[in-house]
Structure 1
Amino acid sequence: MTVTNADRDAIAHGKITEKPLRERPKYPTWALKLTMAVTGLLFGFYVLVHMVGNMKVFMSPYADGSHPLNTYGEWLRTMGDPILPREGFLWLFRIVLLVAVVLHVYGAFALNKRASESRGKFRRTNLVGGLNSFSTRTMLITGIILLAFIIFHILDLTMGVTPAAAEVFQHGEIYANLIASFSRWWVAAFYIIAMVVLFFHLSHGIWLAVSDLGIVGKRWRAILLFVAYLVPAVVMIGNISIPLSVAFGWIG
């Protein structure tokens, strides 16, 4: 029967309540999930392209002594010239990423809050174990770790703010800054841990995006499930190879 007391204990004892568990949200859940899916895929594309660009660290210097990684960085700053001012494209892309980060973080906390309110004091138990279950349970935690890493990474290799950045940081000297930063063992360790965390977060995030975007075909889901693990694994291995190469003296 219907009861006036909307207590979850009443439901547990076989009673029914018509009172909603929470007020109607300002933004529907489907919109938040769609936003997180789109912004998550944008981040996945960005980290893949960023990793490919970072691989230039393994290339030999040019005849004039300049390093390909520095040349690549200069190319990014002048992209769109003369239509855009110097670093115009970079700032446009940074703004897009910043907006995407804000939307993604807001969606993550909002959905987590709604899920918690809907469950009340009755928590999920006896979940199936495995890698996917671990990623599911830790998505909010891994997301917070990655957000902290992004802030540190910007302070370190983009802005050159000490103590995040090395004392010898010089704007424009990307290769030298990277070597100097990863020569500090604690920075290299943090970077490696962050890349492992990124693998778990991104792999599960891509798979969630596949579902939230309504891709239900059996063949397509099988292909995209493979991609959901392949892309994060490539990004993780590629990025981790840089601090390890610095640590072992293979580059520097």
Structure 2
Amino acid sequence: MATATRTPPSPTTPQTAPGTTPRTTPPRRPRRGGLLRTLWGSTIGKKAVMAVSGLVMLAYLVAHMLGNLKVFFGPDDMNGYAHWLRTLGEPVLHHGWFLWVVRVVLLTAVVLHGVCAWQLSRRDLAARPVGYRHRRHRASYATRTMRWGGIILALFLVWHLLDLTTGTVNPRGQAGHPYENIVAGFGTWYTNVIYCVAMLAVGLHVQHGFWGAAQTLGVTRPGLARLCKGGSTVLAVVLTAGFLSVPLGVMTGLVE
């Protein structure tokens, strides 16, 4: 005579008494700051941070280049412009506070940009520990030199601050006399070499970085994509020419 066997209940199925409502586990509340941590931990999030911080630095470069061109209008215009920057925002801001706000924002953008670039580079190497057997240079020169360009610009930023902000390495180095400091600084061959190499790196970095930022931020329409790609080249050329015009003006005697 066969005996019926009872199938034990599944451990994953909760046992409830007849006529009662099964108990459900309430959903966990997301931890505070969880979205930001998720964004920061993802590859697309880091690329977005790089894109936004890069656009912040690009806006500063455009404003800085336009301000540098004041040097061609003589010492009164250049020194007056520098004084105006220190009084901008008064009386809401104290004297010189606007420049410090800009410096803090710019430093934050530089740090975020550099950290994301380093972390993405590490992820790229970890995902491809063995190099390709046959290397084909399909990317542009600007693309292949983005990392070295970033290192060059970081080193140049330190030199530039020591030259025209603190005056440590400037032959004149007097606060409140930017026109005279510019003429004195670009009167040395080594400053001209450092500055010209760095500005060429800026052009390559902007040309590739602006286009990369547009792609990261979702520029996919063909017409807008072509506009951004062409605009990145035009912007890189204009910035490079604008920045290089200052040392060339000093070297040719146009600015003295």
Bucket of the pairwise TM-score, normalised by the shorter protein: 0.7 to 0.9
The Cα of 1:45 is off from its aligned counterpart by: 1.2
Contact 1:37 1:212 in 2 (8 A): yes
Residue 26 of structure 1 deviates from its aligned partner by 6.8
Q: What is the alpha-carbon distance in structure 1 between the residues aligned to residue 230 and residue 207 of structure 2?
A: 10
Tell me the equivalent position of 2:58: 44
Matches within 5 A, 1:1-252: 27-60=41-74, 67-123=76-132, 125-129=134-138, 133-161=140-168, 164-166=169-171, 168-252=172-256
Alpha carbons of 1:25 and 1:39: their partners in 2 closer, same or farther (altered >3 Å)?
A: closer
Q: Which residue of 2 aligns with 1:4?
A: none
Could you tell me how far 1:127 is from its partner in structure 2?
Answer: 3.1
Aligned residue for 2:15? none
TM-score (norm 1): 0.83
What does the per-residue CA deviation read over 1:60-115, in whole Å, with 9 as the maximum and x for residues that have no partner? 45xxxxx1011001110000000000111110110011111110000010000000
**TM-score of the superposed pair, with normalisation by structure 2:** 0.82
Higher Cα Rg: structure 1 or 2? 2
For structure 1, the residue ranges without an aligned partner over 5 or more in a row are 1-23, 62-66
- What is the aligned-residue identity percentage? 37
Contact kept, 8 Å, 2:186 with 2:192, in 1: the verdict is yes
Matched residue count: 219
- CA root-mean-square deviation: 1.7
3-state secondary structure, aligned to 1:142: helix
After superposition, the C-alpha distances for 1:91-150 in whole angstroms (9 at most, x for unaligned) are: 011001111111000001000000011011123844344xx5221111111000000001
**What is the rounded CA distance, in whole Å, between the counterparts of 1:26 and 1:223 in structure 2?**
30
Amino acid at match of 1:29: T
Between 120-129 and 212-221, report the one with greater CA deviation: 120-129
My pick for the range that moved more, 120-129 or 223-232, is 120-129
3-state DSSP class of the match of 1:249? coil
The 8 Å contact of residues 40 and 46 in structure 2, kept in 1 or not, is answered as no
